[in-house]
Structure 1
Amino acid sequence: MVPRAVDRSHAELLRDRGTLDAVGEALAHLHGRPSGARRPPARVAQPFTIGELARRLGVSVATVRSWERAGVLAPDRRPSTNHRTYDADDVLDAELAHFIRRGHHPLPLIATVVQEVRTAGDTRTLESALTDWRARVTARGLAMLKAAALLSDYAGARAD
């Protein structure tokens, strides 16, 4: 039972580090720093339709709809037709989501990252939170290493 709990804790720590990496890459993408990704899109003058957005990203319309269902995107709707419209901020969100998705990250994580970027106001706030989060994950990892050493010592003493 203890080995499985330890393994689950390590797996969780690894997932957290992956999430941190994804958020860090997303921030680098937003800043336009080189990270193997394209630069953020230019602002759009008029709203895009779902088909235009899908073509811009090189994905299917069904993919854009799945992102909306997952909470990654929240487009407005035209009152007369109920068709989706994507303004400049929506296009930026979609570009960011597409970038993170290319790293094979799950949609719930992508929705969280996009929402954090939206609500942070600016990327400096998000970078500060990211730095704090990294410190907590590192501290947890170090505590797990110390606990593993103590457990090993205890198990060795019991075996003698």
Structure 2
Amino acid sequence: MFALFIIYVIVEVAALVAVGSAIGVLWTVLLLMAGSAVGLVLVRVQGKRVMEGLRAASRGERAPGVAVADGVLFAIGSVAMFVPGLVTSVLGILLLLPVTRWAVRPLVLLAAARWMPTVAATTSRMRPTVIDGEVVPESAGTPDGHRIIELDAQDFEKPTR
């Protein structure tokens, strides 16, 4: 994790030095401020659009995979906008634009498809086993007070969900 942070700092400093030497320090600062302003507007506008897509998916009007992929890309772009730096601002703005999300969405869906069997296998072990049954009152049973439990082969099959 520390190595990723060091790489992030090196990339951001290199980008700032390169842009600053190409267009000047004042223009670089103005570029950073403009990027933040554009990012804030995009977060607000696209946030509403992504939330509406998630609502439409919950109503069955849109494919849930597409809506969730857009939500993931929007979340990554929003977080990138709040991380200081020129490279992360550009990455954030790109992920907040609908055209870029449309282009990157198949990669997210592919990654999710590869990752989901692992998640499904892990979470299926975490689910409790449910045994269908019914509550029998204490008074039920044979005349000598013993309880009768009736079972058949179907009771031993794995329950379906």
Q: Fold-level match, TM-score > 0.5?
A: no
TM-score by length of structure 1 reads 0.27
TM-score by length of structure 2 reads 0.27
